[in-house]
Amino acid sequence: MRNLTKRQCEAIHSKRRALERYNLSLNRHDLRDIVSMITNNQATFLLKESNTRSHWLVVYKEKKLKLVYDKPRKMIITFLPLEEENVSIKKM
């Protein structure tokens, strides 16, 4: 078995979590589109976890998705469960 890069592992993990938590089957093109929404300010910033990780709220395929974004790798790390009552929205 070949060694996977951190970016590849993040992609695999995020696809699994999207399916598990939102019943949404995503491919690499979908992940790229969501990242593009974040980088083009078409998503809602929630909070900064660290210098490299931030939480975002995105509406994709008519579903609200809460996710963690890895800025240096330009990749989604994971999809978080959406808890409507606990989501505080801060526009960037």
Residue ranges covered by each domain of the chain: 6-82
CA dihedral of residues 9, 12, 17, 20 (deg, nearest 10): -140
pLDDT tens for 61-70 read: 999 999 999 9
Query: Which of these, 54, 55, 74, 64, lies nearest to 18 by C-alpha position?
Result: 64
pLDDT grade for 82, boundaries at 50, 70 and 90? confident
pLDDT of residue 28: 96
Q: What is the mean pLDDT of residues 55-63?
A: 96
pLDDT of residue 83: 79
Average pLDDT, the chain: 91
